């Protein structure tokens, strides 16, 4: 009888240890998710016209710095520098949007490498509903972010919408050279 009681007690203890471990793991996972949510919540969603310098600083620098490390095709950059002469751009993004967090730092890296004056580029940050307090996104027919629009003499040449078809530098080159370019959401009218 004592043997059975001993094994019964031992079994309960082992089962309890396993359950505590599961509960402990679950608590750790919940804390990690909460921590990730808190770090996301710490970065306010920017709205309206911004300077690029804002997204280079904390708390946005976490994703900005990582994606700015992109190494573009140097051959394409040489052509792009010439093709973008006399062209202007407008950029729409969401600081909450993963595609924006990836593509906008890549764009800035490319433009910095070709000495394009990024201070001349208006940057508009949108809410998760893809709107701004001023409603400027309606004027530009923005449906997805990021959207990078290239202009020549005030006329739109083309736009990269949400993600490039090839790469940012190749897509920009096609647009700036006036070549046929259809963004990811292009629909024939």
For residue 92, being part of any structural domain is answered with yes
Residue 73 DSSP code:
-
**Structural domain boundaries enclosing 152:** 48-176
Residues 67 and 32 in one domain: no
The residue among 168, 163, 167, 169 whose CA lies nearest residue 186 is 163
Cα separation, 114 vs 5, in Å, equals 79
Residues 76 and 5 in one domain: no
pTM exceeds cut of 0.85: no
pLDDT confidence tier of residue 41, bands split at 50, 70 and 90: low
Evaluate if residue 37 carries a pLDDT over 50. no
Q: What pLDDT digit, counting tens, does each position of 123-159 carry? A: 999 999 999 999 999 999 999 999 999 999 999 999 9
For residue 183, being part of any structural domain is answered with no
Residues 70 and 129 in one domain: yes
The domain spanning residue 125 has which CATH number?
3.40.30.10
What's the number of domains the chain is made of? 2
The answer to whether 45 and 128 have CB atoms below 8 angstroms apart is yes
């Amino acid at each position: 009888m004592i043997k059975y009681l001993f094994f019964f007690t031992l079994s309960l203890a082992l089962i309890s240890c396993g359950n505590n471990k599961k509960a402990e793991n679950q608590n750790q996972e919940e804390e990690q998710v909460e921590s990730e949510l808190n770090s996301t919540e710490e970065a306010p969603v920017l709205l309206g016209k911004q300077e690029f310098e804002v997204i280079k600083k904390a708390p946005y620098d976490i994703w900005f710095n990582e994606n700015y490390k992109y190494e573009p095709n140097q051959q394409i950059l040489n052509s792009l520098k010439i093709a973008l002469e006399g062209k202007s751009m407008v950029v729409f993004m969401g600081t909450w949007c993963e595609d924006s967090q990836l593509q906008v730092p890549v764009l800035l890296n490319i433009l910095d490498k070709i000495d394009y004056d990024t201070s001349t580029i208006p940057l508009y940050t949108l809410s998760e509903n893809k709107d701004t307090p001023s409603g400027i996104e309606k004027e530009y027919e923005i449906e997805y972010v990021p959207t990078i629009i290239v202009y020549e003499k005030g006329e739109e040449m083309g736009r990269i919408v949400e993600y490039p078809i090839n790469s940012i530098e190749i897509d920009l080159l096609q647009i700036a050279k006036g070549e046929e370019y259809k963004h990811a959401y292009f629909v024939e009218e």
